[in-house]
Structure 1
Amino acid sequence: LFVIGGDIVRTALAQVINDESRDVVVGFGFGWAQYAMSSLIPVFSGQRNVAPPPEIRDMQVMNMTAGHVRTNHSFVLSRLLRDLEKHVDSGSGKVGGLSVTIVDTMDDPTKKMELMEKFKYRGWPIGHVTMAAQMLLSLKAGGMVPIIFILAQILASCTLELPVWKKEKFAARRGGDDVYALMRGNGNRHVFIVRTKAPNSWNLEDMAAASIHDYDWYNWEGVAAVGLAIGWFVLFALACSVKDQAGWLLAVMTIGHIGNLFSAFYPRSPAGHGFHLDMNKKQTIANAKVMETLKELEVEHEGYGEKLLGTFFPGGLWDDDKNWWADRKNKNGGDSNKTVAK
């Protein structure tokens, strides 16, 4: 059981890492030995690809200020889009048309929040609850089980402390006053326009590009990664020697595996992904017809709708629509290269 479920461990690690919060936990469950061995591949190849690839393969990130469109290569942006779609739709099951949601970034509000408010804002501490349940069960089991559990949790915590996780997940500059569109592209229902109002906001175009692949492992971090892999292999051998408490150990690992499943795949708030978005003040423009949504968007937010035309109408426009956009452009001064209003 140590050697099945390595992908779940890898995804859980990538999911819980947060640039601002260090109180993250990944449980001792199935798959750690498999993950530990596979984690050596980027070390020996000199690469930084420790996180899984993005789940939404067709995701695009548009810099609406400059008009650049990038195919997304970021795991965290893919997860952000997935969970924003869930948040907006809320299980409505709607298909067709176009929904554009406009949201602003904001400064981290958690400094003024009480503990329960932080949980509601960032998400509940699944890893901590899982670890507490595992600890209680391992103490009840006795024998080698609590020792194995404690050693495993130390190895898991050390894995989370490797700097490569944050460097890959948040490979972007901060600052700037840009506007970005997160979307799956033509044929999909949602577009999320993120306006970077806070001075410490991430550059989402940088993050989407994920252009830095080489990584210097020939230092203490590479030694630590190899040491952790060896540690998991030794722990695997130690766990195999457990006889009388094997059932208890299996129960402890099962709880950890369930917790890791939640950590890896359960939807999170934007803050749970490391993005402070003011969802309470979001604006949504939606219509059963894509063109009507873009026209309404253009009227309310000059330049936004025009920038998205090429994405949703790559084959050109009907004459009536051409006339509408031409009239709109003339009304705005006739500058087709005008940047979007921020």
Structure 2
Amino acid sequence: MAPLSMISLLARQQSEVSSQIRAQWAEPSDIMSLLMLVGADVVKGALAQQTGGSDWLPPPVVFSFGWVSYSFSAILAAIGNKTFLPAPELPALVLSTEWGYHRVNSSWVISRLLRDFEEFWMPAEVKARLVQMMAEAGGRRRRRVGLCVSVFEASPDKQAGVPDRDLLWYSGYAVAALQLAVAAIPWALYGAWEEFAVTAFGTALAFLTASLPHWTQERWSCSRDSRKTFVLTRGNGAQHAVVIIGAGRGLDLEDLATSSEGLPGKTGTPIMYSGLAVLWCILLITVCGIENLTWFLLAVGTIGMIHTIIVAGAPRQPGLFGIHLRYRDVFAQPKVMKTLQELEMAYPGCGRSMIKTFFPGDLHEEEKLWWQAAKKREDTVKKGEKESVLGDITTSKLEDSSGSSILSCSSAL
């Protein structure tokens, strides 16, 4: 009897397990509530990509998994370091050609500029010169040769700190509409409106979080209308360096590189995020209470997560980060020193600012002499520009004084 009892018990257990698996796959309510707690980093990356700007439209960051856990991590950021953008994804330096100093970058925006440059927004002229330089170097190295310096200037046609919008940005509205349409299916077929209500409430909370003003403040927490010239590079051994000339209309990238340190936070931000966290918890409890037709909610969350992942990792043009650039020139040689010398001849101070980064050791005697002569030439150019500016100011003052004297004479007459 004992063996028969054991067999009967095992059979009942297998039947119960099978019925539990079938029930879980029929109505996966538990897994839906668990998925709401994972993926906070993906949500943070999507918020970093889509937020910022002064549009009247809310930034379209869609409802997906991970929002509940993100809301609590955002409270910690609001109370702590006041930094909501992700950390830089790769090491980078921002060099000032005016003083020759370099700063280690802590800005996510600058990190994304460098990350996407080679694969996405590199101008065709730079690509052609890079291929030519590789051919000149021969087949000794295939991945990296010499140094390629691309020169840009701030665009005069667009305002710095005001981002462009691309198709990926607007796609958030289409995806949100698709999610609402999927959630409306059980309402239309079975009269179950709970899925639609949860989706609409989650979408409203996501859009509200993305519309908070601190995103714009943190993205462009730097001076505007800068006349400085900056060099962005990953450091010694990098294939590329990007020179950006402010020209009196660009962002101060040197300031932006360290803007996350001591970023002033608004007193209302922790309160707002605390309120949002409470609302997200209410949404999570509501999702846990839904036991029927949960596949529709799972489909809504999956659609949102796929879009969120794509948005968080997608390469973007600099204009979408409010940095509008116009291409000017490229310098590339198989020898790094040769590239820097050519750059220095065309743009005094640019090549010299990178010497310590790419050549931290001692230079050869002839190289020292060359750079000493270049420094004298740079000082002469700066002195000439300063005298030209002073001359213009003096001339304008003389014209004003002569004009005023003529007016006084005419009034006397």
User: Under TM normalisation by the shorter chain, which class is it?
Assistant: 0.7 to 0.9
TM-score by length of 1: 0.86
**Helix, strand or coil at the partner of 1:182:** strand
Change (3 A) 1:312 1:176: same
1:164-214 CA distance string (max 9 Å, x none): 222222211212211111111111111111111253x22111111113245
Q: Which residue of 2 aligns with 1:153?
A: 203
Aligned to 2:183: 138
Aligned amino acid, residue 116 of structure 2: D
2:277 match: secondary structure = helix
Superposition pairs for residues 12-51 of structure 1, below 5 Å? 12-21=46-55, 23=57, 24-45=59-80, 47-51=81-85
Instruction: Check conservation: 1:106, 1:276, Cα contact below 8 A.
Output: yes
The equivalent of 1:6 in structure 2 is 40
The alpha-carbon distance between structure 1 residues 336 and 212, as it changes in their structure 2 partners (threshold 3 A), is: farther
For the residues of structure 2 that align with 1:78 and 1:324, how far apart are their CA atoms?
Answer: 33
State the Cα deviation string for residues 127-169 of structure 1 (Å, max 9, x = none): 2232122122222243322111110111111111222222222
> Match of 1:125, SS?
helix
**Alignment correspondent of 1:266:** 314
2:348 aligned with 1:302, yes or no?
yes
Q: Give the secondary structure class of the aligned counterpart of 1:39.
A: helix
Q: Give the direction of change, closer, same or farther, for the CA distance of 1:282–1:17 in structure 2 (3 Å limit).
A: farther
Equivalent residues of 2:98, 2:349 under 8 A apart: no
Aligned to 1:61: 94
SS at match of 2:242: strand
C-alpha distance in 2, partners of 1:248/1:185?
Answer: 49
Relative to 1, partners in 2 of residues 1:326 and 1:48: Cα closer, same or farther, differing over 3 Å?
Answer: same
What is the TM-score when the length of structure 2 is the normalising length?
0.72
Q: 2:144 aligns with which of 75, 80, 95?
A: 95
Aligned residue for 1:113? none
Task: Identify the range of structure 1 (180-189 vs 18-27) with the bigger mean alpha-carbon deviation.
Answer: 18-27
Task: Tell me, yes or no, if the aligned pair for 1:71 and 1:208 is still in contact at 8 Å.
Answer: yes
| Cα distance, 1:68 vs structure 2 | 2.3
Unaligned runs of 5+ in 1: 111-117
**Counterpart residue number, 1:168:** 218
**Residues 64 and 304 in structure 2, CA contact (< 8 A), matched pair in contact too:** yes
Partner of 1:115: none
2:288 counterpart of 1:240: yes
Alignment partners' CA distance in 1, 2:184 and 2:39: 25
d(CA) in 2 for partners of 1:15 and 1:340? 40
For 1:125, which of 140, 149, 170 is the aligned residue?
170
CA apart distance, 1:294 = 0.7
In structure 2, relative to structure 1, the CA distance for the partners of 1:14 and 1:339 (3 Å cut) is: farther
CA distance in 1, matches of 2:230, 2:168: 25
Partners of 1:340 and 1:252 lie apart in 2 by 61
Rounded Cα–Cα distance in structure 2 between residues aligned with 1:246 and 1:145: 8
Corresponding residue for residue 239 of structure 2:
189
How many residue pairs get aligned? The number is 325
* Structure 1 partner of 2:257: 208
Shift of 1:96: 2.9
Amino acid of the structure 1 residue aligned with 2:50: V
Match for 1:203: what amino acid? D
Secondary structure, in 3 states, of the residue corresponding to 1:192? Answer: strand
Q: Report the counterpart of residue 105 of structure 1 in structure 2.
A: 154
Judging by fraction of residues, say which structure has more helix: 2
Provide the residue aligned with 2:364 in structure 1.
318
2-side partners of 1:157 and 1:291: how far apart? 50
Query: The residue matched to 2:332 in structure 1 has which SS?
Result: strand
| Larger CA Rg, structure 1 vs 2 | 2
Aligned in 2, Cα 1:340/1:303: closer, same or farther, shift over 3 Å?
farther
In structure 2, C-alpha distance between the alignment counterparts of 1:246 and 1:139, rounded to whole Å: 13
2:108 to 67, 72, 75: 75
Runs of 4+ in 1 over 6 A off after TM superposition: 89-93, 333-341
Question: 1:124–1:159: structure 2 CA closer, same or farther, 3 Å change rule?
Answer: closer
Distance 1:126 1:338, change over 3 A: farther
> 1:107, 1:198 within 8 Å by CA — same for their partners in 2?
no
Conserved? CA contact 2:101–2:353, under 8 Å: no
Q: 1:20 to 1:68 in 2, by over 3 A?
A: farther
Deviation at 1:235, TM superposition (A): 0.4
